[in-house]
Structure 1
Amino acid sequence: MMAIKSARFELVPNWEKCPSGDEYAHNDVAAVACNSQDRVYLHTRKGERVMVYDENGNFIKKWGDGVFHRAHGIAIHNDIVYCTDDQDSVIRVFDLDGNFIWMLGEPGKVTDTGYSFKRKPDIHHNEFVERAAGPFNCCCNVCVAKNDDLFVADGYGNARIHHFDGKGNLLNSWGDVGTGPGEFHLPHGIALDAQENVIVCDRENDRLQFFDRAGNYLTMWTDVLRPTDVTVGPDGLIYVSELWRPVEAGQGSFVHGFADHDLPGRVSVFNPEGQVVARWGADSENRAAPGNFIAPHGLALDSKGSLYVAEVSVSFGGGFKRMPMEDCLNHQIQKFRRVA
């Protein structure tokens, strides 16, 4: 198979048709996933729930109200839904209608890594992770292998990847605090490539790290900015969402330090050889414009190759008064149709 050299996408304007009323309102879309019928599942914040749409953005149903503390990640495998709650430090598992099946972790119970969110960071609050430990401390995302094994990026309060079997038994963990190979500062997004190698978004080290299923380090890609999520298409293309890095204290890189200019969020698409085949959204002057990004945080592909990009614009932009709240409220989920 010849390596793909380029890909093009076009925005589907005003995709989400969210019903009116407080019972449907949300301030962020933390994550997005698609089921086998191309229904689109949004894991939303404020309210903390799952909202389900058809591929044209028409609302179908919602579920999970009162269940989640803070939405963070969502994955669907064999039409089973895995929802990561980073503040509860758990992964809750549901069927497509929101019926609870089982849970990985215990709500509010965290391992001792020395992590604390109460101090003011110099670079990022992940610097307060003193040591890596077992599951979980503010886990971020999960991906599921063909045999139903789970791989969890345990990131905000930890620096580890955990490998479980499909029944939730821990098989292996790897990673430590730092900037070397196999070390992390906030392992955030996670996916499996076509060979089922594990791709980890090492967010605050500005890189992707690749491992085999046993946790052996393979390689890293560094042409990324603050990667938050990663997903892999059937053609092998690797999609990465990249978070805005403002020029301010507490928003630096452990590898590159502090930028001397604003670094806006974007989406990058790589072929399996690591070459960029598409990249868009990096516009600091017009980040709230349709097709650009404020705070890209989650990704999903449907069966037709369309890409959904979830954003935590209110938490990251409006909440810190970096942008007008109205812009952030109107910029939470976008769909891009692949055209070439």
Structure 2
Amino acid sequence: MTFGSGEYRYELVEGWDKLPKGWEWGWIPAVACDSQDRVFVNSRSEHPLVIFDREGNFLESWGEDILKDAHGIFIDKEDNVYCTEWETHCVYKFSSSGELLMTLGTPGQPGLEDGKVFRKPTDLAVASTGDIFVSDGYENARVHKYSPNGTLLKSWGEWGAGPGQFELSHCVRIDKDDRVWVCDRTNNRIQIFNLEGEFMTQWRNLLHPDTIYFDPTEDVVYIAEMDHQVSIYTMEGELITKWGGAQKSKNPGEFSGFPHGIWADSLGDLYVGQVQVDAGLQKFARVR
């Protein structure tokens, strides 16, 4: 079965992920690939961070003693792995082999008042400057900017639906031009800022955008939308293709849960994780 259209057509790879015997998936909020096409799956399971090769063969797992409540994942150009934990109010930076390098926030301790770091953070991205941006969305309408060594530089945002305001800053990503894209999920839009948090523009009329991914070789953006849909747009906002039907479906390749995490490997194959359903990881191999 083929999904998408034109140059962006995909085939579902059923049974792709080969978990060790006796292991089971819970919700899968986040997925990312490193420069070697290793696929990192961040889930709310007994084994929270599981790593596969692109063929779905199990390689290793780590983080069982640290990671408690998965929400977002990001892998930078040096293959450092950042895991955002919403219920424990912190972000962890690991080396590609699982060594803990840095912690942002205090595990288990939320910010004491609105605007303070962190109050159920959602995701993270790293700019070309090395600065770190964290979306802090469930109980904070904020984006926080950190230096590479973890010093808080600034925060922006407030509750609302106007430019620079958020109802749920659910994901942050940074494009090749160092523009900061923030999924403002409850407002059905993506807002775009410069690195200093100054509002530039916005995309409206999306279906509760959860997470986005920028293709490093093609000028397209992949959007996992909460309303059971994956969409692909040009960087100018023109819809290329979409699938999922914007309604709950148990059909293979569609979504019975909420698409929550999305990433592509070097060959353009897509990986989508879902919440509100267990074992909701799907791989879509690009047809060329």
Assess same fold via TM > 0.5.
Answer: yes
Aligned-pair CA distance for 1:193? 1.4
Aligned counterparts, 1:87-98, within 5 A: 87-98=87-98
State the 1:138 CA deviation. Answer: 0.5
Is the 1:153–1:200 Cα contact (8 Å) retained in structure 2?
Answer: yes
The offset of 1:30, in angstroms, is 1.4
Q: For residue 334 of structure 1, what is the aligned residue in structure 2?
A: 282
Give the aligned length. Answer: 280
Deviations 1:114-143 (CA, angstroms, capped at 9, x unpaired):
xxxxxxxxxxxxxxxxxx413211000001
Q: How far does residue 6 in structure 1 lie from its aligned partner after superposition?
A: 5.7
**1:112, CA displacement in angstroms?**
3.3
Which residue of the partner structure matches residue 242 of structure 1? 225
Runs of 4+ in 1 over 4 A off after TM superposition: none
Whether the 8 Å contact between 1:162 and 1:174 is mirrored in structure 2 is yes
Task: Tell me, yes or no, if the aligned pair for 2:232 and 2:242 is still in contact at 8 Å.
Answer: yes
Establish whether residue 195 from structure 1 lines up as the match of residue 177 from structure 2.
yes
Matched residue type, 1:212: N
Question: What is the CA–CA distance in structure 1 between the aligned matches of 2:146 and 2:220, rounded to whole Å?
Answer: 26
Q: Based on CA coordinates, which of the two structures has the bigger radius of gyration?
A: 1
Q: Distance in 2 between matches of 1:160 and 1:176?
A: 6
Identity %: 39
Residues in 2 aligned to 1:201 and 1:269: alpha-carbon distance in whole angstroms: 15
How far apart are the structure 1 equivalents of 2:50 and 2:199? 37
SS in 2 for 1:204: helix
What displacement does 1:28 show? 1.3
Taking the aligned partners of 2:182 and 2:209, their CA distance within structure 1 comes to 9
1:308 to 251, 271, 278: 271
Amino acid at match of 2:52: Y
Aligned partner of 2:247 in structure 1 is 284
- The CA deviation at 1:90 is 0.5
The residue number in structure 2 matching 1:62 is 61
Equivalent residue for 2:83?
83
Q: Does 1:266 align with 2:265?
A: no
Residues 197 and 189 (structure 1 numbering): CA distance in 2 closer, same or farther, change over 3 Å? Answer: same
> Structure 2: where are the runs of 5+ without partners?
1-5
Do 1:281 and 1:291's aligned partners in 2 also have CA atoms closer than 8 Å?
yes
Match of 1:142 in 2: 124
Aligned to 1:118: none
Q: Whole-Å Cα distance in 2 between the matches of residues 175 and 226 of structure 1? A: 19
Query: Structure 1 residue 16: deviation in Å?
Result: 0.9
Residue identity matched to 2:107? P
TM-score (normalised: structure 1)? 0.79
Alignment partner, residue 15 of structure 1: 16
Deviates more, 1:96-105 or 1:153-162: 96-105
TM-score normalised according to structure 2 size: 0.93
Q: Is the 8 A contact 1:191 1:198 kept in 2?
A: yes
Distance 2:208 2:102 in 1: 32
Shift of 1:55: 0.0
Shift of 1:46: 2.4
Letter in 2 for 1:310: G
Q: Which has the higher strand share?
A: 2
CA contact (8 A) 2:157 2:165 kept: yes
Match of 1:225 in 2: 207
**Contact kept? 1:269, 1:279, Cα under 8 Å:** yes
Give the Cα separation in 2 of the matches to 1:301 and 1:83: 18
Distance 1:283 1:161, change over 3 A: closer
> Which is helix-richer, 1 or 2?
1
Q: Which amino acid aligns with 1:203?
A: R
- 1:119-158, aligned counterparts within 5 Å? 132-158=114-140
The offset of 1:48, in angstroms, is: 5.1
